[in-house]
Chain A
Amino acid sequence: MGRTLAEKVWDEHVVRSTEGEPDLLYIDLHLIHEVTSPQAFDGLRLAGRGVRRPDLTLATEDHNVPTVDWDQPIKDPVSRTQVETLRRNAAEFGVRLHPLGDLDQGIVHIIGPQLGLTQPGMTIVCGDSHTSTHGAFGALAFGIGTSEVEHVLATQTLPQARPRTMAVTVTGELPEGVTAKDLVLTLIAHAGTGGGQGYVVEYRGPAIEALSMEARMTVCNMSIEWGAKAGLIAPDETTFAYLRDRPEAPKGADWDAAVAHWRTLVTDDDAEFDAEIELDAGTMTPFVTWGTNPGHGVPLGGSVPDPESFEEESDRVGARRALEYMGLEPGTPIREIQVDTVFVGSCTNGRIEDLRAAAAVVKGRKVAEGTRLLVVPGSVRVRLQAEQEGLDVVFKEAGAEWRGAGCSMCLGMNPDQLAPQERSASTSNRNFEGRQGRGGRTHLVSVPVAAATAIRGTLSSPADLEAAV
């Protein structure tokens, strides 16, 4: 019988397989950041172990870093200690680091693909759940905890139970103004936050094949938000065109050999998935969340649901609690929800295409009074590219704040945070209670919805702006 893409990548990386034990998988690339690595390096020191393959390891600083005054020492002493600890560890163990101020610094899941280090068929891990982003290249990429970070540092392998596989087939074509973010939010609302649990998911079908690499990364990025172990997309010409000429992509004869292999990384026609979901992109609309997990989503044209409308008691309890936290009444049209802060950025939507899409909406317009728009490029190179294209000027003229690279307001770990009860429209990935700062209220949205919301001050799509003119 044929094999799925995920099974092929898995099989190529099995170092050892024994009945009754997890497979021992080789790891091609280990990405590291400052938050989940200090205790792992400490563990190595305690055991007198080194890093087995520093040449397959890359570190950067992203979660803690400020997005203003990035040329100054980090003000928060605890954040500074964490970043300095990473610098010491990288130096001591010989790991390449792109620190704050470096041209290649940025969110760990933005810089891997940007450098060309993320390639089809690789196994990629990082102490960060959004490692699934790299699956867009047909890599098997997943988040791990700190004990596993230490394990990979010491052995370049991980014991892993073979996961089940699932196909998410998206037929049809996304309508104008509907993005990869809307697609994945629609999927999560459909499948539920636990729907992907235990599966490696392959996204496929015409609507997926039509996506750019950056849009594919947005889809794969949010795999973890419906519980999937990883999400991947078969590499194709779009993938190869993106990779070609990247600094760390193979060159010359190596390129040819690599591409020849990458072309084999597709699910065989006679392969069977353990589960399948099919969605029609043609029916999708801009999609936003109303509650406190990424499965709490509705179309922008809808309204806040009534908790009593849910079938399961646990869902009713969860929805009641979510509405109380979010300060929302059932039945309120989504478009009437006023937003204080709009955040464009993160490993979900902080790439150059995202910034272009946001700029196209705000160009020649002004951010609504009482609303602030924060635009945070995912990496230094994304920032420089945007500035070269004049996008920074577009944002500043609209009254937005143009920032330096980092995780920023995706999580309340650096100075960019919501105040209690402050409401955001955010292009990031999690609307958990307090995720963007204690008491903050998050609506997850696509980039065009974020930008239009900043202009109108209420949750909106670009079409609403045209209607208003």
Chain B
Amino acid sequence: MDAFTTHIGIGVPLRRSNVDTDQIIPAAYLKRVTRTGFEDGLFAAWRNDPAFVLNQAPYDAGSVLVAGPDFGTGSSREHAVWALQNYGFKVVISPRFGDIFRGNAGKAGLLAAQVDDKVVLRLWALLEAEPGTTVSVDLTERTVRAGSGPEAVEDSFDIDDYTRWRLLEGLDDISLTLAHDDAIAAFEAARPSWKPTTL
């Protein structure tokens, strides 16, 4: 996984709450057996609408998605994270994320930045008033910044310390865990014999 420190990119205002992972990528697009090529499925139903934000320049070149609360609820499909990444998104900003989505994002290297509701409302207003405005996201400082003058937005975001550290270092979870192989083996040796097995 590539290390993530800061990102600056065009902000995309997605004025919706409860964006479940079926909306991010419908089930019909989940049939690929690779981690790439899911960009066509991203918001597939909504992209049929010419007025949808990703069908508008310069938002179509955006890389920082700003969404309403409860983004990524529902299905566990990591394809939702891959679809966002395959399209070009590096960061999603929302007041609240579905648990599994947030976990998946952390594993796959997409930054899920949790902010106050008010920050999203101000970012939406700014990004709609000045399409193409870039949003600067600094993981080291845990800050989001956009715009200038009285409408400028500058605030902090939440992310758990462990995920932040892993993203900053670009670390692979499995390697970290395998370093504790002895502890796993010791745990296994002490498991009750009546626990079920499949083979």
Q: How far apart sit A138 and B45, CA to CA, in the bound complex (Å)?
A: 39
Mask, B75-114, CB within 8 Å of A = 1, is 1111101000000000000001011100110011000000
A57 at the interface (CB under 8 A from B): yes
Find out whether the CB atom of A145 lies under 8 angstroms from the CB atom of B17: no
Question: Which of B22, B160, B180 is A430 in contact with, Cβ under 8 Å?
Answer: B22
Find out whether the CB atom of B100 lies under 8 angstroms from the CB atom of A129: yes
A55 at the interface (CB under 8 A from B): yes
Contacts of B22 in A (CB 8 A): 411, 430, 432-435
Question: Which of B78, B174, B183 is A146 in contact with, Cβ under 8 Å?
Answer: B78
Residue picked from B17, B31, B188, most chain A C-beta under 10 Å: B31
Q: How far apart sit A412 and B28, CA to CA, in the bound complex (Å)?
A: 6
Find out whether the CB atom of B30 lies under 8 angstroms from the CB atom of A413: yes
Find out whether the CB atom of A22 lies under 8 angstroms from the CB atom of B180: no
A187 at the interface (CB under 8 A from B): no
B156 at the interface (CB under 8 A from A): no
Q: How far apart sit A157 and B173, CA to CA, in the bound complex (Å)?
A: 11
Question: Which of A143, A154, A156, A254 is B100 in contact with, Cβ under 8 Å?
Answer: A143
Find out whether the CB atom of A24 lies under 8 angstroms from the CB atom of B78: no
Question: Which of B23, B78, B104 is A433 in contact with, Cβ under 8 Å?
Answer: B23
Shortest Cβ gap from B169 to chain A (Å): 13
Contacts of A47 in B (CB 8 A): 174
Q: How far apart sit A156 and B187, CA to CA, in the bound complex (Å)?
A: 11
Given the interface pairs A20-B161, A55-B198, the reply to whether A224 lies near B108 with Cβ below 8 Å is: no
Find out whether the CB atom of B173 lies under 8 angstroms from the CB atom of A159: yes
Contacts of B180 in A (CB 8 A): 15-16, 24
Contacts of B31 in A (CB 8 A): 35, 64, 76, 78-79, 81-82, 413
Shortest Cβ gap from A53 to chain B (Å): 8
Which residue on chain B has the smallest CB distance to residue A25? B187
- Chain A positions 104-138 with a Cβ under 8 Å from a chain B Cβ: 116-117, 119, 122, 127-129
Prevailing SS type, chain B contact patch: loop
B132 at the interface (CB under 8 A from A): no
Which residue on chain B has the smallest CB distance to residue A246? B196
Find out whether the CB atom of A257 lies under 8 angstroms from the CB atom of B192: yes
A190 at the interface (CB under 8 A from B): no
Contacts of B78 in A (CB 8 A): 36, 39, 127, 145-147
Q: How far apart sit A275 and B180, CA to CA, in the bound complex (Å)?
A: 34
Contacts of A35 in B (CB 8 A): 30-31, 77
Contacts of B129 in A (CB 8 A): none
Find out whether the CB atom of B33 lies under 8 angstroms from the CB atom of A39: yes
Shortest Cβ gap from A48 to chain B (Å): 12
- Chain A positions 129-174 with a Cβ under 8 Å from a chain B Cβ: 129, 143-148, 150-151, 154-157, 159, 161
Q: How far apart sit A101 and B196, CA to CA, in the bound complex (Å)?
A: 24
A307 at the interface (CB under 8 A from B): no
A198 at the interface (CB under 8 A from B): yes
Given the interface pairs A129-B74, A293-B18, the reply to whether A144 lies near B100 with Cβ below 8 Å is: yes
Contacts of B73 in A (CB 8 A): 193-194, 227, 293
Q: How far apart sit A250 and B194, CA to CA, in the bound complex (Å)?
A: 6
Shortest Cβ gap from B21 to chain A (Å): 9
Q: How far apart sit A317 and B69, CA to CA, in the bound complex (Å)?
A: 13
A29 at the interface (CB under 8 A from B): yes
Which residue on chain B has the smallest CB distance to residue A59? B198
B199 at the interface (CB under 8 A from A): yes
Interface band, chain A: 35 or more
A28 at the interface (CB under 8 A from B): yes
Q: How far apart sit A122 and B41, CA to CA, in the bound complex (Å)?
A: 36
- Chain B positions 50-83 with a Cβ under 8 Å from a chain A Cβ: 68-70, 73-79, 81
Given the interface pairs A15-B184, A144-B103, the reply to whether A56 lies near B26 with Cβ below 8 Å is: no
Mask, A38-63, CB within 8 Å of B = 1, is 11001000010100101111100001
Find out whether the CB atom of A161 lies under 8 angstroms from the CB atom of B77: no
Question: Which of A119, A146, A435 is B196 in contact with, Cβ under 8 Å?
Answer: A119
Which residue on chain A has the smallest CB distance to residue B178? A155
Q: How far apart sit A413 and B100, CA to CA, in the bound complex (Å)?
A: 21
Residue picked from B30, B32, B96, most chain A C-beta under 10 Å: B30
Known contacts A35-B31, A56-B197, then 20 further A-B pairs from the complex at CB < 8 Å, ordered by chain A residue: A26-B184, A28-B196, A42-B34, A42-B35, A54-B199, A55-B198, A76-B31, A82-B31, A116-B196, A147-B107, A147-B108, A148-B107, A151-B107, A154-B178, A227-B70, A254-B193, A292-B18, A318-B16, A433-B22, A434-B45
Please report A residues at the B interface, Cβ cutoff 8 Å: 15-16, 20-22, 24, 26, 28-29, 35-36, 38-39, 42, 47, 49, 52, 54-58, 63-64, 76, 78-79, 81-82, 85, 94, 96, 116-117, 119, 122, 127-129, 143-148, 150-151, 154-157, 159, 161, 193-194, 197-198, 224-225, 227, 229, 248-250, 254-255, 257-258, 261, 292-293, 314, 317-318, 321, 411-413, 430, 432-435, 438-439
